Structure 1
Amino acid sequence: MAKMDENFAFLILSIVAEIPSGKVATYGQIAELAGYPKNARLVGRVLHQADFYGSYPCHRVVNSQGMCASSWSQQPDLLAGEGVGFKSDGQVDLKQYQWQGDF
């Protein structure tokens, strides 16, 4: 497991900063791009503390099924405001809105 330190946090946040408006990435995708493919939960921990490091578009990160964070009621509205679409079950349509960029 990756050590939770500032270098790791800034790596994760620099990847999140690259997600364009109107697109989403998954926690696992961010972990993979960072070189820590088994640490999606650690990515979530970093994002939970992101305000400590500055302003990042953390609302653009969802789980592997396209679900928004249950503890963040504003996240769906923020995504919808950027044009991200949701399926009838409330999940982001990852086929259409998942960011395909590399880092």
Structure 2
Amino acid sequence: MARPKPNDLPDLGHLARPGAEIALRVTPGAARDMLKVTPEGLQARVTAPPEKGKANGAVRAMLARAMGVAPSDLTLVRGQAARDKLFRYASCGGRS
């Protein structure tokens, strides 16, 4: 997976509040990784294929970098096999 440069990611640090839920729409198998804020909400594109959780892991890592948190602090709550996903942020390694 080609990692986006830090300056290519939006600053989502304001979302790093314990218990915050982050909804986004994901496109797996894209030409390059990208995370952007649109009027409709967050959109992520990842080069990882949608198999065996690879795309979910790539989205989780990219979202964590944009938020400035550890990937282990983000839990996929809904959308394991769907394009629309919901992550929950919990500091301290996934505990609320």
TM-score by structure 2 length?
A: 0.35
